[in-house]
Amino acid sequence: MEVISVLTEMELDRRLTTAGRTARPAPPYAVFFPECLITRAASHLWQNGRHGLEQIVLWAGYPTPQGVALTTLLLPETEAEPLWVRILPAEQPKIVAWLHRYGQLLFVEAHTHGDGPFATELSEEDRRHPAGRQDGFLTVIVTGYARHGIHLPGAGVWECQRLIYRRVPSAEVTRRLRVVTDEEVRRVLI
């Protein structure tokens, strides 16, 4: 598993020491995506996408009074086909260990679909194997295998509520999900 963070390992340790482990906030909440992680996620998704295969990325971070500040992009090893992608079972304990080590929570997963009228919909496979089942967990479906990057208002955004995913309306996506500078995220946390 590859991990990219806007915080250094020392800053992650300091955050855990000073803030401790935080509880998951009650949804709905704002989610702040650092620009560098959006760019890196789009690149990773497109690596499989250029071959017509799906891919998945995970975002973790910390609750703040302003909303959730995502600080970390997790790129687990996957197996993929044109119509599905799964995180390899051996990666799951690595993800949990990393999150626990730094006191982070998993808030968002993004995966790709192809094009077409139903490209932003959750497939039956997506519903059977969600990356998260906590209230407020978001699934972002990036169409066109991310060939044009990640554009949150144009993606299919789904939120888990009592183990059922509901589509987040585009006006709410625009209001709640924001791409910000890396420095804005760092400023909120350090």
Domains of the chain: 2-189 (3.40.140.10)
Q: pLDDT tens across 47-57, in order?
A: 999 999 999 99
Residue of 162, 118, 171 whose CA lies nearest to 141: 118
Q: What is the pTM of this model?
A: 0.96
Residue 166 has pLDDT above 80, yes or no: yes
Q: pLDDT tens across 11-43, in order?
A: 999 999 999 999 999 999 999 999 999 999 999
Residue 99 has pLDDT above 90, yes or no: yes
Angle at CA of residue 27, ends 55 and 146, nearest 5°:
20
Q: pLDDT tens across 64-80, in order?
A: 999 999 999 999 999 99
Q: Looking at residue 38, what is its pLDDT? A: 98
Question: Over pLDDT 70: what percentage of the chain?
Answer: 100
Given phi > 0 = left and psi -120 to 50 = alpha, else beta, which region is 66?
alpha
- Specify whether the CB–CB gap between 100 and 71 falls below 8 A: no
Residue 98 has pLDDT above 90, yes or no: yes
Q: Looking at residue 178, what is its pLDDT? A: 97
Q: Looking at residue 12, what is its pLDDT? A: 95
Q: CA 20: distance to chain centroid?
A: 22
Question: Over pLDDT 90: what percentage of the chain?
Answer: 93
Q: Looking at residue 107, what is its pLDDT? A: 98
Q: Cβ–Cβ contacts within 10 Å for residue 17, how many?
A: 9
